[in-house]
Amino acid sequence: MARKVSIVKPQDPALAPNRALSPEVRAVVDRMAMIENTVLPTEQRTGISLQSIRTDVEGLAYIAEVNARVLRPPSDRWTRFAAAGFGLLTFLFFTSLVVASVLGKSVPPDSRLLVIAVLAIGIALSLSFLGGTASVSGRLEEMPWGMHPVAFRAGGGIAVFLIVFILGYLVYVKGGDDSIIEGTVFDAANSAGIPGAKVTITTSFNTYERTASDSGNFRISDIPHLFDQQITVSATAENYVPAKPQTVIVGSYVQNFKLHMNSCYNGLWRENGFSLPQNGSRWRFKLAGPSLHISRLDGLMYGELHHRPDGSWVGDLILKNGNKSTQLTLTLANANCEQIFTNASGSYVRETIE
For residue range 192-230, what is the model confidence (pLDDT) as tens digits?
888 889 999 998 888 999 999 888 999 887 787 787 789
For residue range 79-108, what is the model confidence (pLDDT) as tens digits?
667 767 777 887 787 788 778 777 766 666
Q: What is the pLDDT of residue 134?
A: 47
More confident residue, 212 or 310: 212
Q: What is the pLDDT of residue 347?
A: 83
- Residue closest to 257 by CA, chosen among 243, 237, 271, 273: 243
| Terminal-to-terminal C-alpha distance of the chain | 137
Q: What is the pLDDT of residue 277?
A: 58
Q: What is the pLDDT of residue 7?
A: 41
Mean pLDDT, the chain, integer = 76
User: Contact 283/269 with Cβ under 8 angstroms?
Assistant: yes
For helices 56-71 and 23-39, the axis angle rounded to 10 degrees is: 30
> Which phi and psi (to 5°) does residue 64 adopt?
-65, -40
Which option is the CATH number for 180-261: 3.40.50.920, 2.60.40.1120, 2.60.40.10, 1.20.120.1150? 2.60.40.1120
**pLDDT of residue 18 exceeding 60:** yes
Q: What is the pLDDT of residue 235?
A: 92
For residue range 120-151, what is the model confidence (pLDDT) as tens digits?
777 777 766 555 444 445 555 555 545 555 44
Q: Tell me the percentage of the chain whose pLDDT exceeds 90.
A: 8
**pLDDT of residue 12 exceeding 50:** no
More confident residue, 55 or 108: 55
CA distances from 50 to 33, 111, 183, 215, 224 (A): 8, 59, 78, 85, 75
Residues 162, 155: Cα–Cα separation, whole Å: 9
Q: Structural domain boundaries of the chain? A: 23-71, 76-176, 180-261, 267-353
For residue range 229-270, what is the model confidence (pLDDT) as tens digits?
899 999 988 778 888 899 998 876 778 899 998 888 888 888
pLDDT category, 271, cuts 50, 70, 90?
A: confident
Query: Which residues, at least 6 apart from 263, have a Cβ–Cβ distance to it below 8 Å?
Result: 187, 188, 189, 239, 240, 241, 287
Query: Which residues, at least 6 apart from 238, have a Cβ–Cβ distance to it below 8 Å?
Result: 196, 264, 311, 332
- Residue closest to 283 by CA, chosen among 272, 293, 269, 273: 269
> How many residues in the chain?
354
